[in-house]
Amino acid sequence: KCKVAVAELSKFPIIAVDCEWAGPRDTLREQELCLVQIANPKEKAYLFDVVKVGKDLFTKGGLKALLENPNIVKIFHDCRWDSDVLFHKMGVQLTNVYDTQIGYACFRRQQESITPLPVGLKSLLAKFALGGKHATKD
């Protein structure tokens, strides 16, 4: 099933990625990757259960090749920890990443404003994707 999902996702020039992991927040290298969520622009999302299937999702299933594909833009929000956990636990070296948090910081800097980081995804969605009409809390 993973190969089928990866083949479908590989058809798109851009995908959105998020990882969920568990473990002590202050010791990054002790984190265990639990779930990888990847969505395509057609509003279809795939959930990959790393706890159940393990590293085979990345090797035999093709997730490593997808995430390292330089022809596909991978959108993350604050991918620092996701990138570290993927690299150290699964051997994935992300390529062609657009981090929405860094994009927002650059946007604010062009406006000559200082933006304290990190900034939550909910805040960015409220400000841009939802047209600022919805109040949210991070």
pLDDT, residue 47, reads 97
Q: Measure the CA–CA gap between 79 and 50, rounded to whole angstroms.
A: 18
Residue of 104, 96, 98 whose CA lies nearest to 125? 104
Q: What is the pLDDT along the chain (138 residues), one digit of tens a residue?
A: 899 999 999 999 999 999 998 876 666 677 788 999 999 998 899 999 999 999 999 999 999 999 999 999 999 988 888 898 899 889 999 999 999 888 887 777 777 777 666 777 777 777 777 654 554 454
Neighbours of 112 (CB within 10 A): 6
Please give the model's pTM, rounded to 2 decimal places: 0.81
- Tokens 């990345």 sit on residue: 58
pLDDT (0 to 100) of residue 56: 95
CA distance 129 to 73: 19
